[in-house]
Structure 1
Amino acid sequence: MLSLADKLAPEVVKNLIPYQSARRIGGNGHIWLNANELEESELYGESEGYNRYPDFLPQVIEQAYLDYSSHFTPSGNPLSCQSRAVRGADEGIDLLIRTFCEPGKDRIIVCPPTYAMYEFCADAFALKTIKVPLIEGFGLDLDGIKENLPHSKMLFLCSPNNPTGNVIPHSHIIQLLEAAKETTLIVVDEAYIEFAPHTTVAELIASYPNLIVIRTLSKAFGLASARIGFILADRSVMTYLSRLIAPYPIPDPSARIAEKALADSGIAAMRNQTEALVSVRDWFADEVALLPFVEAVYPSATNFVLIRFNTDDCLYRYLLEHGIVTRNQAHEPQLKRCVRISVGTQASMQETLNALKAFKAASPQNAA
C-alpha cells in the first residue's frame, strides 16, 4: 500500500539515487585516500585539523536528539519516528519543499502572521502560496484551511507561533491531520517548543504519517550560530528526504557542539536557562502591560513578547534611537502598531522597560 509520501513525491525525486560521497561508500583502512582531502593541514590554532570530511549522516546527534525529544512527549513513551539533522530549521523547510513539490505546479498553505521562511522558500521554488490568515485571537481558520487542503502539497504551521507567541491546540492540529490524510503533508514548526514542551505534537507522528515536525537548537539551547536543526518524521517521509539531503549535512565542529548540548548536562543547563528566561519574560510582560500607551501584551509561549501600542508613533524607531533593536511587525495587516521584543537578560529588559517609561514621560500626549 502506497503511503501519502509515496503519492506526493515527484517522479524525479523517486528516481534519484543519493549522492555516493566517499564517506557514504566507506571502507576501513589506515591510509585514507578516497575523498581528495589533504592528509595533513594547518591547525589554525585548534587542537585538531579540519581536513577530513564529516560523517555523511550525523547519526550520533540524530539519535541523541530523538532520545531527548522522547523525554518530553505527553505520554513519556519513546517517539516512533525518525530524526534527520539539518543546517538549521530553515534548511529543513527548504529541504521539505524541494523534496515533495514541483516548481510551477504545486501549492503550499501558510497562516499569516507566521514565520516568513515558508513563503520565501516556496517563492524561490516557483510554488504558489495559499494564505489562510489567522482569525481573531490568532487562532487557525480551520474551515478555510480544510477548503484548500485537497489542492495543496503541504501545510506549514508554527506552534508556538512566530511572531504571535501562541500555541495551536492539539485538537485543531488533529482535525487538520485527519482532513489531510490522503492529500497533504502537515509540517509543524516547533522551533520554540522548549518554552512550552507539553504542547509538542511529535508523538502524533506514530498515528499520522502525514505529520512532520521541525525543531532547532537555535532558540532555547542558544546555538544559533552552530546551525543545527532536526526533522522528525515517519520513515515513509524520510525515504525521500534522504535522497536530497546534502552529502555532508553537518560540519564536525557543529556536530560536536550539538553532542555536548544533547548530553544530560547540556539538557539540564538548557532547562535551567529556559526557566530563568521565562521568569524574566513574564515579569517584563506584566510591567509593560501597565504602561498607558500599551494596548496589549499578547500571551507568549516563546522567548519573545508581542506588544501592540495605541500610539501611531513607532516605538520600534524610538527604541532603536536608544540603542535597543527590536522587530517591527507593522508590515503585517493584523499587527499594526506591534513590536516583537526578544527576551534578554534581566538587565537588558530593565533597560528596555526604562526606555519605554521615558517615552511616556517625554510624550504624554501619546498616552491615550
Structure 2
Amino acid sequence: MDSLASKLVPQAVEKLIPYQSARRLGGNGHLWLNANELEDCAQYGDLSKGSNDKYNRYPDFLPHDTAAAYIKYCQQEVANLDTEIITVRGADEAIDLLVRTFCHPGKDQIIICPPTYGMYEFCADSFAVQTCKIPLTDDFQLNVEEIKQQLPNSPLLFLCSPNNPTGNSINQADIISLLEASKETTLVVIDEAYIEFSEHQSALHLMNKYPHLIIIRTLSKAFGLAAIRCGFLLADQSVMTYVNRLVAPYPIADPTAEIALKALSDDGLSLMQQQTDQLIETKQWFKQQLTYLDSILHIYDSETNFILIKFKESIDAYQQLSAQGIVTRNQAHEPALMDCVRITIGSKESMLETLNALKKLN
C-alpha cells in the first residue's frame, strides 16, 4: 500500500535523482581520487590540531555516528523506538527540507498555530507556499476542530511543543487526536527544540504507531551548542525516502559532527542534564522574583529556557531594557502577545542584573 508521503510528494521530487556526491556513492580502496580533493596539502598549523587532521577530505554524506548517537539518546526514553534519522544544520534546515520535499509551490499550504516559531511561515513563503494560520486558544492550546477542517488541504502541519514564544507544551491528547485525523491527508511535524526543559512527555513514543509523525530536535538549546548548527530530523522510512533526495551533498562539517558526538557521549549527556537542572532552578528563582514587580501583569508558565512576560500597557519594557544594555525579544508583532517580552534565562548573575533593570521600569 502506498504511504501517505508517497501520495503527498510533488511529481518533481518523485522523479528527482539525488545528487550523487563522492561520499554518497562510497567505495572501497586505498587511493581516494574521486572527489577532486587535495591529497598532498598544507594543514594550516593550528587548524589541524583537532581530533581530525584530514580537513582536505569531504565529510561523510550524512554523519552516521552522530545520528546513531542521537538515536541512542532518544532510546533512553523510548527503548523500542523505530525511526530513521538524519543530521541537519539546525532545526531550521529540517523545516526547510520538509517544505521543499512535500509542498507544491504556488499550490499547497502548510498549517501553523500562532503565536509560534516564525521559521515555519518563512520557509513556506520562500518556496511560494501559502500558510494557513489557526491561532492558539487563549490558554495557548490548539484549536483542534479548526485544524481538522484544514487537514485535507495541507500536506504539512507544524506544531511546536514546548512552544516558542509562549513557553508551554501542547496537550498530548490533542496531538493524538490530530494524528488520528490526519492519517490520510497530512504529515504532522512536532518541533521539540525545547523538550529537555519540559516535564511533559515527548512525542517520541507515538512514532512507532503513526508513520506520518515527524519530530525535529536540536543541540542548540539544552546542549548549549547553537554555534555548531546541528539538529536532527526523525521520521519513518516512507518519509525519509523523499527527504533524502533533497539533502545537500555534504551537509554536516566534520568539526560539527565531532563536537556533537562529544555532547552525546555519557559525559556530555551528564553535563547537559546538570546545565538543564541549573537553568530550571534559576528560572524558577527569577520567576518568583518577578511576582513582586508592579510593572508586570502576567508571567506565563514556561517549559523552556525563557519566560514570556506581559507588562502594563503604559510600559515599553523592551525599549527600557535595551536602554540599559539588556537585549530581549519584543513580541508585540503578535496580536495575542501585545505588551509581551520574551526573556531568555541566562546565568544567575545575568538574571540578577535583568531583575534590577526591571525594577527601574516606569
TM-score by length of 1: 0.95
Q: Deviations over 1:19-53 (max 9, x none)?
A: 11111222222222110011133333222242110
Partners of 2:313 and 2:25 in 1: how far apart?
Answer: 62
Query: Matches of residues 1-368 of structure 1 in structure 2 within 5 Å?
Result: 1-44=1-44, 45-46=46-47, 47=49, 48-73=53-78, 77-196=79-198, 198-359=200-361, 363=362
8 Å contact kept, 1:108–1:154: yes
Distance 2:295 2:204 in 1: 40
Q: Which amino acid aligns with 1:27?
A: G
Cα displacement string for residues 97-145 of structure 1 (whole angstroms, at most 9, x for unaligned residues): 1011110011100000000000000000001100000111111111111
User: What displacement does 1:191 show?
Assistant: 0.3
Query: What is the alpha-carbon root mean square deviation over aligned residues?
Result: 1.0
Deviations 1:207-244 (A, max 9, x none): 11111000000000011010000011111101111111
Which stretches in structure 1 are left out of the alignment for 5+ residues?
364-368
Cα distance, 1:197 vs structure 2: 5.7
Question: For this pair of structures, how many residues does the alignment match?
Answer: 357
Q: What letter is aligned with 1:22? A: A
Cα distance in 1 between the residues matched to 2:298 and 2:41: 57
User: Mind listing any 5+ residue stretches in structure 2 that lack a counterpart?
Assistant: none
- Is the CA contact (8 Å cut-off) linking 1:167 and 1:199 kept in structure 2? no
Letter in 1 for 2:30: H
Q: Secondary structure at the match of 1:230?
A: strand
CA contact (8 A) 1:303 1:342 kept: yes
Mapped contact 2:169–2:200 kept (Cα < 8 A):
no
Separation in structure 2 between the aligned mates of residue 259 and residue 40 of structure 1, nearest angstrom = 28
Q: Is the 8 A contact 1:110 1:132 kept in 2?
A: yes
Amino acid at match of 1:66: I
How far apart, CA to CA, are the structure 2 residues paired with 1:117 and 1:306? Answer: 19
Q: Match of 2:311, as an amino acid?
A: F
Structure 1: distance between partners of 2:77 and 2:305: 19
Give the stretch that moved more between structures: 235-244 or 23-32. Answer: 23-32
Runs of 4+ in 1 over 3 A off after TM superposition: none
Q: Secondary structure at the match of 1:319?
A: helix
Separation in structure 2 between the aligned mates of residue 264 and residue 293 of structure 1, nearest angstrom: 44
Report how far residue 78 of structure 1 moved: 2.8
- Give identity over the alignment, percent: 59
